[in-house]
Structure 1
């Protein structure tokens, strides 16, 4: 059985079910179709005035997950592993090539590129962002102080957002998105602000969301953030699910993999990747056998 051929078992009342999702992109490539250097030059000149060579990029490969209420799922992996693609599919921003995503409510997506108006002040953006998420003006007024407190911007809340550092803007976006008490919150690289106090406040807020029978997805290159804020970690690599398990165990396996890569030990890194992926499949087979015997 291949890691992609994953059967999906649903018990209890999950928040999100990702069922056999695949994502493919067709993109232009400047790569020559023939290896010969002279022919490549001629083809390059012809391609400059003709159609580009199109190739298929496999962003996600037959991925299945079940996320229960109360879970906080960290998603880790190298750049280009499919992390943000998965978040966009779960949030409904992108439609998968095949497979489906089922959610108990509309997921709220928070990313560092969330659209707010740079020329407006922070407090004006709080109102704008909350209204865009469906709050009434009365609800905005009720939650305004708590949003500003969570963001930690204090008097800076009255300055134009274009004057904010990237960390300040990220904190404001998180505070706005988390104010609506979403059942499903997706956070894409929005907590890497380097602010220890904000990290504590945001963790408390994410814990509150989970306690309110919700779930949180968090993409971050900060492995400390992942370990501190998540109850479960999913490791993706080149669109494949490599590991799905306890944060400390998954993060350590990923760190071992990247350490070998950084030292140029590509064979050792590949062995870690293959062994970890094989263990995922073996664990699923044992789990399936156990469930069937109980039935």
Structure 2
């Protein structure tokens, strides 16, 4: 594995720095086993001393380092359970890494498929609710309202309750709301896996605008055409390992081959690709911390 040292004297404008960050979860077997054990101990004080089960450690993300610059749109790909959502939660400061550190130049805005909107309200009402919840003033909302509706592209459906929307329609509305505040760092976790070519075109235009305004966008998606169309760089995670960090075409070519072999149950060929990517990966070592807001330690 090649090694690359990242010196801040040569870095133009970092938005996010992940410095050897890793995440290990400590879980109880059986999900709520801790609660059950606590009830037993309360019912039989002094008699049951070893009822609480031992904790199981799950390595969700192995130590990795990367630098995301202002003006980049970064696609994050990988199979389910690869560590994509864990990395995004670390970047957003929702959880703290068990190893290493994560830094950001401003507070990232995270948009996921479970973004908190109200199903019984209309799309229009949810636009108002979502924008105010993100801290937008009434004046800002009024000036951007029409643009949000245009980007969402829901036409007459915007007056219907959101519970009547398809998953694609909901994703379009959430993206339009989140992108309206010109966030410096925007994280889209599985939010744009659906949508037609017209919507992807509008989305690309908006993401290009964000990047031109020195924003940085992370897009987690299983839709490889969406990643290829919208992103200037991709990160490939697999079983908690960083396998690839670079330009999209090369990484997507090997990722498609990797998933094809796995679907055909050709594990040996898939593992050869995995070993190849790890060998080619340039490891980043952070030598100087980014000036700005420290997210987690």
TM-score (norm 1): 0.85
Q: Distance in 2 between matches of 1:53 and 1:78?
A: 29
Q: Distance in 2 between matches of 1:26 and 1:8?
A: 32
Q: Distance in 1 between matches of 2:171 and 2:263?
A: 29
Moved over 2 A (4+): 5-10, 49-54
Which residue of structure 1 lines up, in the alignment, with residue 147 of structure 2?
146
Q: Distance in 2 between matches of 1:229 and 1:246?
A: 12
Which residue of structure 2 lines up, in the alignment, with residue 35 of structure 1?
none
Other structure's SS at 2:55 match: strand
Range with greater deviation from structure 2 (143-152 or 192-201): 192-201
**Correspondence list, 1:17-36, <5 A:** 17-29=17-29
Matched residues, number? 265
Contact 2:16 2:68 in 1 (8 A): yes
Other structure's SS at 2:244 match: strand
Other structure's SS at 2:281 match: helix
- After superposition, the CA RMSD in angstroms is 2.0
Tell whether 2:273 aligns with 1:275: no
1:53 CA displacement:
4.7
Which residue of structure 1 lines up, in the alignment, with residue 56 of structure 2?
55
1:68 CA displacement:
0.9
Q: Distance in 1 between matches of 2:188 and 2:105?
A: 18
Contact 1:108 1:185 in 2 (8 A): yes
What CA deviation, in whole Å up to 9, does each residue of 1:157-182 have, x standing for no partner? Answer: 11111111111111100000000001
TM-score (norm 2): 0.85
Which residue of structure 1 lines up, in the alignment, with residue 230 of structure 2?
229
**Correspondence list, 1:139-218, <5 A:** 139-218=140-219
Contact 1:6 1:63 in 2 (8 A): no
Contact 1:122 1:157 in 2 (8 A): yes
Contact 2:21 2:98 in 1 (8 A): yes
Other structure's SS at 1:179 match: helix
Q: Distance in 2 between matches of 1:83 and 1:238?
A: 10
Which residue of structure 2 lines up, in the alignment, with residue 81 of structure 1?
82
Which residue of structure 1 lines up, in the alignment, with residue 12 of structure 2?
12
Gaps of 5+ in 2: 31-49, 288-297
Which residue of structure 2 lines up, in the alignment, with residue 266 of structure 1?
267
